[in-house]
Structure 1
Amino acid sequence: MSTLVLTRRKKTGLAREVNAVIAILARDITLFFKSPMTIIMNFAMPIVMMGMLGGSLSQNMTRGIGFNYNQFLLVGMLVNMLFMSTTMGMSSLVEDHTTDFTQEMLISPVSRYSIIIGKILGSSFGAIIGMFGTVIVGLCMGISISIGQLLLIIVLSPLMCLSAGALATIIIGIIKNNKTANIAVSLITMPQMFLSGAIIPIGNSKGILYVLSRMMPMTYCLDLVRAVVYAGTPQYKSVVLNNPAVDLMVILIITIGCLIIGTFFFARSEKNR
């Protein structure tokens, strides 16, 4: 009898956590569609980053690199959009803190990890929409990607978003000023765009640039995606830095570590209010 009761409690607890994740996810999706400016920015950003910056590099600085730079750029910007949009979406937790919404969530009988994961998934929805915007910009620039390759990237996208969101959680857990948090999020996304190889190849980086690039979580996410996209092609060795298994292991370690640390800081900051 006691075993049956315990099993029912476990099922009820699991269902409660799943419902909490879904509720937070649904709230963020609703807020996304209620914010036309957010939707516009998700399509405008690829035009600025890829169409202008990437296009200029492609025309002036990529001769003789040994691989198709345009496709290299497209894959890089797809991952970059996932990272940038997810981390920016996570910064709304600071606004929730100001309006006491996080306090209402924390007094509910759900795990803090469910709240954070639900928020990351909600932020990743806008990131994936932005990723499709990047594909459209790429097509306008004459850069194509196969349906199979795009599907593989979509399959990996939740892992990319989870990694980005976990990293942003640490910042959000420490900083409780909305303006400061937005600046801090930009400071962890912009350097990664340039140092991870999203736009500029980093295979020949040395010294401090080599060290910094290998410290960036997006470096390993991007390298894993490129390993999948370029698998079986002559450009594989020129584009991919590490063994995909190494990339996956590093991503999981960084994500789990950041998620634990970030959730701790987030819960403690709300508890100490």
Structure 2
Amino acid sequence: MITTAQREGNAMLAIAAREITKGIKNPVLMIVSIVFPIIFIGIMGGSLSQNMAGGLGFNYLQFMMIGMIVNSIFTGLITGMSSLIEERNQNMTQELYVSPISRYSIIIGKMIGSSFTSLVGLIGIVLVALIMQIPLGGMHIVYLFLITPLFCLVGGSLGIFFIGFVQDSKTADIGSMLLVMPQMFLSGAMTPIQHSTGLLGFLAHIMPMTYCIDLARSVFYSGTDMYSKIVLYNPLTDLAVMAGFFLVFTIVGTLMFTRSERNR
């Protein structure tokens, strides 16, 4: 006899497999996820490195590469979770919502599946790093990749929170980009934020991506001379804040999304 835990686990795996299959069958999406970081690191990063990175005291392109790893994951997860709005409006997921499984299982399964596409985007980052001869840091980049599931959880939870308050698919498409872009520019993904003050400093310190990027850099630069110049917080602080964001966003977002589904 199948227990409740087994039923929920099977549901999550089935939903995740469905999302991965959709990603594989949509090569354009896979290509875009790879090309996007290439454009930002190769073109924008190269230009910034040539014009402003001389006095930083560390390799700017390496600094940006780590930020773009986290940003790429956030973009993929938020976009993937936002697609639930379109699927709901087109009645493509009604069989899920009438099935005897938890809404949390549906959301988490979707999050796991969406993580696949976002992690594929890391291939583009590694390619541009090799082409531009950006130091990958040996085992440090491996350690960084090992903790990327943490960034998937936080990015996915932010996507859940977002779709909990959005009803229209067009609004979701535009809003997901408006959710990602400010974080990319204000969280330290592309430029250092150690000295940000006032409104910019406040915004930087309330954005989830800030703490994910800081944890990524603390892992990558651990044991190096650049650590104190680049890392903002203790890694345990980053983890605690990330855990708080994940719990609040997931619980509130799922409750709001479920309520809007019932009110349709």
TM-score tier by shorter-chain length is over 0.9
Distance across 2 between alignment mates of 1:45 and 1:174: 27
Superimposed CA distance per residue, residues 121-148 of structure 1 (whole angstroms, 9 cap, x where no aligned partner): 1111101000121111111111121452
The structure 2 residue matched to 1:92, chosen from 68, 83, 100, is 83
Distance across 1 between alignment mates of 2:236 and 2:164: 31
Paired amino acid for 1:32: G
Bigger mean CA deviation after superposition, 140-149 or 70-79 = 140-149
Where does structure 1 differ by over 4 angstroms across 4 or more consecutive aligned residues? none
RMSD, aligned α-carbons: 1.2
Distance across 2 between alignment mates of 1:146 and 1:14: 41
Distance across 2 between alignment mates of 1:83 and 1:161: 7
Contact 2:41 2:61 in 1 (8 A): no
Q: Secondary structure, in 3 states, of the residue corresponding to 1:234?
A: coil
Superimposed CA distance per residue, residues 45-88 of structure 1 (whole angstroms, 9 cap, x where no aligned partner): 01211111111101111111111111101111111111111111
Q: How does 1:124-203 map to 2 (within 5 A)?
A: 124-203=115-194
Paired amino acid for 2:192: P
Q: Secondary structure, in 3 states, of the residue corresponding to 1:182?
A: helix
Give 1:153 shift. Answer: 1.9
Contact 2:214 2:238 in 1 (8 A): yes
Distance across 1 between alignment mates of 2:238 and 2:80: 25
Distance across 2 between alignment mates of 1:116 and 1:140: 37
Percent identity for Structure 1 against Structure 2: 48
Contact 1:163 1:251 in 2 (8 A): yes
Distance across 2 between alignment mates of 1:139 and 1:63: 21
Contact 2:137 2:220 in 1 (8 A): no
Distance across 2 between alignment mates of 1:150 and 1:19: 33
Larger radius of gyration: 1
TM-score (norm 1): 0.94
Paired amino acid for 1:266: F
Give 1:151 shift. Answer: 2.2
Q: Secondary structure, in 3 states, of the residue corresponding to 1:101?
A: coil
Q: Secondary structure, in 3 states, of the residue corresponding to 2:173?
A: helix
Give 1:154 shift. Answer: 2.1
The structure 1 residue matched to 2:70, chosen from 79, 84, 96, is 79
Distance across 1 between alignment mates of 2:163 and 2:188: 26
Distance across 2 between alignment mates of 1:104 and 1:119: 15
Contact 1:85 1:126 in 2 (8 A): yes
Give 1:247 shift. Answer: 0.3
Which residue does the alignment assign to 1:42? 33
Contact 1:226 1:240 in 2 (8 A): yes
| Structure 1 unaligned spans of 5+ | 1-7
TM-score (norm 2): 0.97
Contact 2:77 2:156 in 1 (8 A): yes
